[in-house]
Amino acid sequence: MEGERILIVDSETRIVELAVIKLSNAGYWVVSAYDGEEALDKIAANPPDLLVINYNLPKINGYQVCSEMKNRLGLNHIPIILMIDSQFNEDEFNNYKLKVSDILVKPFTPKTLLSRVNSQIIKTKVFKVINPLTELPGHTQLQEEISARLSGEKLFNLLFFDIKGFAKYNRAYGFEQGNQVIKFLSNIIQEEVDKVGALNSGSYHLGGDDFAVLMEPGPAEEMGRNIINRFDEGIINFYNEEDRNRGGMAISNRRGILEQWPVMTLAIGIVSNEERTIKDWLEAEVIGFEVLKYAQSMPGSQFFRDRRRS
């Protein structure tokens, strides 16, 4: 049985040849392409498990290939290792708002390439332990990733999400309809994470209506606002006409008294180790849930960022 399918794309023949030899000997099924057009054709014909691509390619450059993948359903989950050299322009890369899994700087040894490929394939296998509803990794994977970043002394932003009023909605509309709301939020989060194109960012489904995003320092607050705006615009569509007209649900409590429940809103809590020391994943979550709870206490959809310093 052949191993995972790896697509290597570079106009330099020698690099492709060395990559094919090294990865094939390690048990991978390696396919090669020498320009952007050929790469897109091979990706469409048989999507790889991992793409290793040079940013500077003839016909269609590597950025355009990655951008095309990001916009195609069924291809936007494929991890990408981007090869760069001394001519790499970070501003040009940022303009494409791409999300890549790793960056490999030329020149590199075949051993380094194999190590990076192995790392991405292992991550992909781990992330296959996913929530069946949203197809997102869960709490265990989030804890492992936070621990890895803290061990590597890397800065991060961690966002926690919770739908206010979801339990009441589930009670009134049933779990099947509640699952549709969960998928609605999941899709918004994943799309907005892809839009910002932050390196090493990921979405996690913690269970029920709870989600998290772990990303490098960047536009976390802007992304949070966009997610809230899209959620507020679309959530009303999950109510029947009567509830839409009155702006929420009317539900009898245990004493038989009719109570009004407004349309669901979204709370987001943001925690970061940019301004304070966080010693482990548990502390990160405790702080995150504190600020999430504060956002939950405010009316309407809100996000709140922890700004305490240590």
Task: List the chain residues with pLDDT less than 70.
Answer: 1-2, 71, 73-74, 76, 126-129, 197-199, 310
Q: Confirm whether pTM is higher than 0.75.
A: no
> For residue 168, what pLDDT is reported?
86
Tell me which residue of 244, 154, 245, 248 sits closest to 198, measured CA to CA: 154
Q: Is the dihedral of CA 74, 223, 208, 123 positive or negative?
A: positive
Chain segment 28-43, per-residue pLDDT in tens: 999 999 999 999 999 9
pLDDT at 19: 95
For domain 5-126, say whether CATH 3.20.20.370 is its number: no
CA distances from 137 to 211, 214, 283 (A): 10, 12, 20
Residues 40-69: tens digit of each pLDDT? 999 988 889 999 999 999 999 999 999 888
Q: How many whole angstroms separate alpha carbon 87 and alpha carbon 104?
A: 13
Return the CATH superfamily for domain 139-305: Reverse transcriptase/Diguanylate cyclase domain (3.30.70.270)
Enumerate the CATH 3.30.70.270 domain ranges in the chain, comma separated.
Answer: 139-305
Separation between Cα atoms, residue 192 and residue 117, nearest integer Å = 26
Residues β-bridged to residue 202? 214
Q: What is the dihedral of CA 23, 46, 10, 195, to 10 degrees?
A: -110
For the record, the structure tokens of 244 come out as 């839409």
pLDDT at site 1: 36
Q: What pLDDT score was predicted for residue 207?
A: 83
**How far from each other are the two terminal CA atoms of the chain, in whole angstroms?**
53
Residues of the chain with CATH 3.40.50.2300: 5-126
Q: What pLDDT does 128 receive?
A: 59
